[in-house]
Amino acid sequence: MIAKLWAAGIALALAMPAAGDGPPLPFANGDAKQGAPLASKDCVACHARRFDGDADRIYLRADRKVRTPAQLATQISYCNTELGTGYFPDEEEHVAAFLNQQYYHFK
């Protein structure tokens, strides 16, 4: 339980924009290029099992649960814990940056 709360706190911190001029970008410290292989390695297999082999459907469905950058960060942290992938917080942010670039387009 404590690990999940800690992970959720880290996820929210990662989703918070950095201070500075102009509109803040979600996952500004994330690198989508580094997140792509992580997502391909661990996320795709799990999502494909849940959606009849179509892993992308989780991101494209009309009733998707993730609607904000904070929710995306929290979901990635949850999946990291549940799958036991052992991603560090910066790796979670890389995955978030990749998923945001590919599917969510949060600004």
74 is written with which tokens? Answer: 């929290």
Assess whether pLDDT exceeds 90 at residue 81. yes
Which CB contacts under 8 angstroms, 24+ apart, belong to 15-22? 15/68, 15/69, 15/70, 15/72, 15/73, 15/74, 15/96, 16/70
**Nearest to 77, CA basis, from 68, 66, 88, 67:** 88
Contacts of 67 (CB under 8 A, 6+ apart): none
pLDDT digits (tens, 9 = 90+) for 29-78: 999 999 999 999 889 989 999 899 999 999 988 888 899 999 999 999 99
Return the pLDDT at 102: 95
Angle, vertex CA 104, rays to CA 47 and CA 4, nearest 5: 60
Report the first-to-last Cα separation within the chain, whole angstroms.
32
What pLDDT score was predicted for residue 25?
Answer: 77
